Amino acid sequence: MSDTYIARSSAIAARLLAGEMMVMNSADSTFFTLNEVATAIWQAADGHTPLREIVRERICEQFDVEPAQAQADAEQFVADLSSHGILMVSDHPFANEASR
């Protein structure tokens, strides 16, 4: 199975407020808040760590959750944010996060 890589879009604004990440897409001013688990995935979206590794290291290690369930939830979350242009998804590592 190929790996999935995720990176934050440069079009967004984001800030942590009381453990939850606020995210706004400047293109359409859509506003989201991410819960603690989603925030952990978001923070780890560096473009070169596979999603599977993020789930294993950042989610299953820190939260009480079944690995299969965590992986499925993470994939759904990534698909949702990707559809809003907030996360970018690729099956290859991104070349340089800062350049996006």
Partner 1 sequence: MSLMAEAGQKAFDLGVPLAVHVDVTYRCNERCVHCYLDHDDHGELTTAEIKGVLDQLAEAGVFFLTFSGGEVFMRRDFLELVEYARRLMFVVKIKTNAVMIGAAEAQRIRALNVDTIQISVYSHRPEVHDAITKLPHSFERTLKAICFLRDQGLRVTIANVLMTANLRDQEGTQKLAADLGVHYTLDPTITPMMDGDTSVLALRIPGEELPDVFHNPALVPNQEEFCAPPPPPSEEDLEGYSCSAGHSFCYISPYGDVFPCVQFPLPTGNIRRQKFLDIWNLSPQMNEVRSIQAKHLTTCSSCSHVSSCSRCPGLAYMEGNMRGPSTADCEKSFYRTGVPTANMLRQGLAKPRSTVPLIQIRPLAVPA
Catalog residues that contact partner 1 under the rule CB under 8 A: 10-18, 22, 24, 26-27, 29, 31-33
| Cβ closest to partner 1, residue 25 vs residue 49 | 25
Radius of gyration of the chain (CA): 13
Residue number with CB closer to partner 1 (22 or 65): 22
Rounded CA-CA distance 25/10 in Å is 9
For the bound state, the minimum distance from the C-beta of residue 91 to partner 1, rounded and expressed in Å, comes to 26
Min. distance of Cβ 14 from partner 1 in angstroms? 5
Q: Which of 3, 86, 84, 97 is nearest to 50 (CA)?
A: 3
Question: With respect to partner 1, which residue has the nearer C-beta, 10 or 69?
Answer: 10
Between strands 87-90 and 12-17, the pairing is unpaired
